[in-house]
């Protein structure tokens, strides 16, 4: 089978019953969005972009004891079984290493156009209606409160403190989600983010109004 459909099927089966927000539906959306963003970036290598989008969450550090190499390693192992070219494997590994958000105060530079596209696609899936739903799904998975006005948001300036965070889910909007529109690499992604960002701002305002007994 061709490498891209084979990888899509492998990931779909691997993530079939994942309830943490890193499900096949998320990966499928990131894959579709990365392909869409690539239309405006003709220099991006389509094979590297699509494989990296499909494999970007294959072994997230959050679920592997903070092992940041688990993802790149798992991607390499899979791509080797498919006899993918070594240079493609190396480029996909680099994208996976660079994709994650690590805290508002932590720079997450990308070293390739393919990483720029996959990082943007992943970030777009963390905002808007889906982003809101994913944040509360993640918070529920971790047993977090929806909101606690006594817990102030923290603008994490190190990956270590961002990782240790156990704050109520509404804080995640101030600590990450509302910043993502300013942390995108491409104009195509910034255009998509406009509507999603506005929708999230309205959501947070309405949430806080209802919290205090307003309409
Ligand atoms: P990314 O792939 O952009 O690095 P993550 O893997 O950190 O994103 O997060 C996956 C999903 O879970 C995202 O939608 C993200 O916003 C959500 N999430 C991560 N951490 C939290 C948190 N502390 N509270 C609520 N949602 C979270
Ligand atoms: Ni992701």
Q: What is the distance in A from the centroid of ligand 1 to the CA of 175?
A: 11
Closest CA to 20 of 61, 67, 74: 61
Q: Is the Cβ–Cβ distance between 199 and 128 less than 8 Å?
A: yes
Please say if the pLDDT value at position 100 is more than 70.
yes
- Give the number of whichever ligand sits closest to the CA of residue 162: 1
Q: What is the distance in A from the centroid of ligand 2 to the CA of 10?
A: 16
**Average pLDDT value for residue range 19-43:** 90
**What is the DSSP track for 41-82?**
-TTS-HHHHHHHHHHTTTT-GGGTTT-TTHHHHHHHHHHHHT
pLDDT value, residue 59 = 85
Q: What is the pLDDT of residues 177-196, one digit of tens each?
A: 999 999 999 999 999 999 99
Q: Closest ligand 1 atom, CA of 123?
A: 3
The percentage of residues in the chain with a pLDDT greater than 70, rounded to a whole number, is 94
Q: What is the pLDDT of residues 77-99, one digit of tens each?
A: 999 999 999 999 999 999 999 99
Closest CA to 112 of 127, 102, 97, 122: 97
Q: What whole-number distance in Å separates Cα of residue 154 and Cα of residue 5?
A: 41
- Centroid of chain to Cα 181: 13
Residue nearest to atom 26 of ligand 1 (CA): 135
Count structural domains, the chain: 1
Give burial (CB, 10 Å; 0-12/13-18/19+) of 14.
Answer: middle
Q: What is the distance in A from the centroid of ligand 1 to the CA of 136?
A: 10
Q: What is the pLDDT of residues 143-158, one digit of tens each?
A: 999 999 999 999 999 9
**Average pLDDT value for residue range 38-48:** 97
The ipTM of this complex is 0.95
Q: What is the distance in A from the centroid of ligand 2 to the CA of 57?
A: 5
pLDDT value, residue 63 = 63
Q: Is the Cβ–Cβ distance between 47 and 91 less than 8 Å?
A: no
Torsion of Cα atoms, 178 then 181 then 185 then 187, to 10°: 170
What is the pTM assigned to this prediction?
Answer: 0.95
For tokens 């992943």, the residue is: 122
List the domain range (segments joined by +) for residue 56: 3-211
Ligand 1 pocket by Cβ (under 6 Å): 21, 60, 100-101, 122-123, 126, 131, 134-135, 138-139, 165, 169, 172, 176-177
Residue 51 belongs to domain with CATH number: 1.10.3210.50
pLDDT value, residue 189 = 98
Task: List, in order, residues 6 or more apart from 135 with CB less than 8 Å away.
Answer: 126, 169, 172, 173, 177
Q: Closest ligand 1 atom, CA of 100?
A: 4
List the single range of 28-37, 109-118, 155-164 with lowest mean pLDDT. Answer: 155-164
pLDDT value, residue 21 = 56
Per-residue confidence band for 68, with pLDDT thresholds at 50, 70 and 90: confident
Please say if the pLDDT value at position 18 is more than 70.
no
Helix and strand totals (H; E) in the chain: 10, 0
Q: Which of 55, 95, 138, 207 to mutate to test the pocket of ligand 1 (most atoms within 8 A of CB)?
A: 138
**Secondary structure in 3-state letters for 183-201:** CCCCHHHHHHHHHHHHHHH
Q: What is the distance in A from the centroid of ligand 2 to the CA of 122?
A: 5
Token readout for 115 is 């990483």
Please say if the pLDDT value at position 116 is more than 80.
yes
Q: Closest ligand 1 atom, CA of 122?
A: 3
């Amino acid at each position: 089978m061709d490498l891209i459909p084979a990888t899509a099927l492998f990931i779909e089966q691997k993530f079939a019953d994942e309830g943490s927000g890193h499900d096949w539906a998320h990966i499928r959306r990131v894959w579709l969005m990365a392909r869409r963003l690539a239309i405006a970036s003709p220099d991006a290598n389509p094979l590297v972009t699509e494989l990296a989008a499909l494999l970007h969450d294959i072994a997230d550090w959050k679920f592997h004891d903070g092992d940041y190499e688990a993802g790149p390693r798992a991607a390499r192992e899979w791509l080797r079984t498919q006899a993918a070219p070594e240079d493609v494997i190396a480029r996909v590994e680099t994208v996976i290493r660079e994709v994650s958000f690590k805290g508002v105060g932590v720079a997450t530079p990308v070293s390739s156009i393919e990483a720029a596209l996959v990082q943007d696609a992943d970030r777009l899936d963390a905002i808007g209606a889906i982003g809101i739903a994913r944040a509360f799904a993640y918070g529920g998975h971790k047993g977090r409160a929806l909101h606690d006005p006594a817990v102030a948001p923290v603008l994490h300036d190190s990956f270590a403190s961002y990782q240790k965070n156990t704050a109520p889910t509404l804080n995640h909007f101030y600590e990450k989600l509302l910043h993502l529109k300013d942390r995108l690499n491409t104009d195509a992604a910034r255009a998509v983010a406009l509507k999603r960002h506005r929708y999230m701002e309205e959501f947070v305002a309405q949430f806080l109004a209802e919290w205090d007994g307003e309409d």
